[in-house]
Structure 1
């Protein structure tokens, strides 16, 4: 038993609803590699607890959850998490239990076990023990785990108290797939209302790696929810479809916000719906026609929007030499080439028109755009990810969308989207179209360079290998941008890697 293993919670659950709420609180904290051991006598409520947990992950209160008593093991593959639900009551001993391949489940999924005492040698690192004891019409519960579980369950219980204080007492909680960040999201339901809970505790600034400064500082990455709240308020004030904030605790990093649905820019086969992409380009054009303030004011206080300056662009580019070659078969980037590579990039970035400025959402692409089918105009484009917004060149977000890193599109489709943006911009007034074309190639190449490094880092450091499936597509995007005359000085640097 790990030295930090201790009791986390002891409580009385008066009815099935209370049991279900606790199971939902646990489901929101569950991660791949977690082992949940449910103990108690027959009729103690182990299967009821497990069933509520599975339904929370499924996002469906009526989801069919069979008892695993006879099949022994039932597997689920939910979008957010894979899970195996196991009942060892009929297992004769440890040898038979080992044949179920339970430890393999923990490599990339979570495991919930009833009657765990049939197999005493459970790994301790990610174990959570839950003991249920009937009492009256309800049951008592005792939960014990290590420090990792103590922190996660404490956070989930704090989120429950936040929802209660917001008037969503007893709300149903369903964890949903998040983004590439450390933020977590839930869809919450109460009395016919639906909202999204953003769980984003402030994170510490990263280590000083670049002449005494961190990547976070140089790239101007948000460390808490205050920038999100401020940018959201400004977008809504100017008529754009960011989610309404129902309640926020900036200090705690908890935000209850409008649910803009789950319909995006892709069809059921995850192919681009080009008319929706074109509507998003019209939205960008409208955003780029706004004279945005330097400081935005939100529920968390004022936020000065940082510049997307040369330092920020270069430190993002550095992700490529730092991480790209950490995939088997890729050519290593020589350390002695780093300084001249970044110097070459600095020269190309110097050709940008730094007076062409707008708010750059920075990740304006398919995962962060929700289609509002009943709306019109720019209201059709729901914008949900903008906490890292900067003041920069308008071409960046246009390239981010037309060169969607997760969605393969032909060069002709990309050109169609870019052309649609230019037509929308012309309709709103004159702008430097020739300078925009060069900036589009430069910033598209910068973004593809950054993404190739970042996606590798997600796979290597954060255990998210699915990002690697976009690797060849992003290389292709980079090749398209390098073909532009504005990128002539950099093309030779990339040839060995593409």
Structure 2
């Protein structure tokens, strides 16, 4: 006879008891777009964060989170210390970086923005100068196939929604082939550690730390070995806020200046292609979430991200994707039309 699985709360309490935090006060902190949930624990003037990965997919991300946290700390960057873990159960107790995430600071009126973005850009410079891919041979590889598979949610969810009907026969394969044609140029420069969700919501201002260590890093469990431009694009072409163009261009120049031997044309092409990939994937994911939950607040992301996507595909390196969009999506698709689609 199969034994019943203990209730999740029982599993969590047992874990906290074993870690010495059983008497802690627990304060829910919410969730992200996955099955992960977070709590802040307080015990004897100390705090920690409980990461609760409730399903098999989320739990499978715990080992890479632990591994990448170690790799980042090896590069003298501020990833949280792992205080305790039960990887099979999808539970981690990690260092608490506080509440000063960049998103809260920016949206709360922090002025000027430039110092925060300079530190965040310098973190990427330091990471890309210090990290050696051979140190992590088992990490996921962000190659043409992986990027193509992730971005095709654009055809699965977003394109049918704005068209008001399914794609015509052959259009899905046509878009997959367009991405396969442009993606090799995005991967032409030497690879590095790609964190994947490098944006203000996952960056923390840490008091008492200097230089790049003053920026705490979170939510990198989907990271892997991939193109160096991706995280810079993620930082500067933010789905949640408009980054002024002069600030964006200043941070690109700051990054490029740190790598004088890098092919600047190849880097610009990589930025454009990866921006198009990221924005298309977000459009597809948000469309999927909206369709699954009526009135989802993610609707507000769509017009901004659509504008970022159409800007990225204007680069000649992304022209096969631009031609597909011209053939298969409504002409002059604007913010109002996108909102009406959902």
Tell me whether the two structures share a fold, i.e. TM-score over 0.5: yes
CA distance in 1, matches of 2:49, 2:241: 25
CA distance in 1, matches of 2:295, 2:90: 24
- Contact (CA 8 Å) 2:60, 2:90: kept in 1 or not? no
What is the CA-CA distance between 1:353 and the residue it aligns to?
A: 4.0
Question: Residue 34 of structure 2 corresponds to which residue in structure 1?
Answer: 181
CA distance in 2, matches of 1:203, 1:169: 25
Q: 1:371 aligns with which of 201, 205, 208?
A: 205
What is the CA-CA distance between 1:294 and the residue it aligns to?
A: 4.0
Q: 1:270 and 1:468, CA in 2 relative to 1: closer, same or farther beyond 3 A?
A: farther
The yes-or-no answer on 1:395 pairing with 2:229 is: yes
The yes-or-no answer on 1:280 pairing with 2:120 is: yes
What is the CA-CA distance between 1:471 and the residue it aligns to?
A: 0.2
User: Deviations 1:381-405 (Å, cap 9, x if unpaired)?
Assistant: 1111111111111011111111011
Question: Residue 46 of structure 1 corresponds to which residue in structure 2?
Answer: none
Between Structure 1 and Structure 2, how many residues are aligned? 323
What is the CA-CA distance between 1:433 and the residue it aligns to?
A: 2.0
Question: Residue 336 of structure 2 corresponds to which residue in structure 1?
Answer: none
CA distance in 1, matches of 2:153, 2:30: 25
Q: 1:176 and 1:353, CA in 2 relative to 1: closer, same or farther beyond 3 A?
A: closer
What is the CA-CA distance between 1:177 and the residue it aligns to?
A: 2.0
Which has the larger helix fraction?
A: 2
CA distance in 2, matches of 1:199, 1:437: 39
Which has the larger strand fraction?
A: 1
Task: Trace 1:199-348 onto structure 2 (pairs within 5 A).
Answer: 199-201=52-54, 203=56, 223-266=60-103, 267=105, 269=107, 273-294=113-134, 296=136, 304-325=138-159, 327=161, 332-348=166-182
CA distance in 2, matches of 1:350, 1:328: 29
User: Deviations 1:193-222 (Å, cap 9, x if unpaired)?
Assistant: 110000114515xxxxxxxxxxxxxxxx98
Question: Residue 267 of structure 2 corresponds to which residue in structure 1?
Answer: 436
Q: 1:329 and 1:411, CA in 2 relative to 1: closer, same or farther beyond 3 A?
A: farther
- Contact (CA 8 Å) 2:256, 2:262: kept in 1 or not? no
Larger CA Rg, structure 1 vs 2: 1
User: Deviations 1:127-180 (Å, cap 9, x if unpaired)?
Assistant: xxxxxxxxxxxxxxxxxxxxxxx97x8112211121111111311111112221
- Contact (CA 8 Å) 1:172, 1:188: kept in 2 or not? yes
TM-score between both structures, scaled by the size of structure 1: 0.61
Question: Residue 414 of structure 1 corresponds to which residue in structure 2?
Answer: 248
| Structure 2 gap ranges (5+) | 334-342
Question: Residue 457 of structure 1 corresponds to which residue in structure 2?
Answer: 288
What is the CA-CA distance between 1:340 and the residue it aligns to?
A: 1.1
CA distance in 1, matches of 2:80, 2:278: 26
- Contact (CA 8 Å) 1:247, 1:255: kept in 2 or not? yes
| Structure 1 gap ranges (5+) | 1-149, 205-220, 297-302
The yes-or-no answer on 1:467 pairing with 2:298 is: yes
What is the CA-CA distance between 1:257 and the residue it aligns to?
A: 0.5
TM-score between both structures, scaled by the size of structure 2: 0.87
Q: Answer 1 or 2: higher relative contact order, Cα 8 Å, separation at least 6.
A: 2
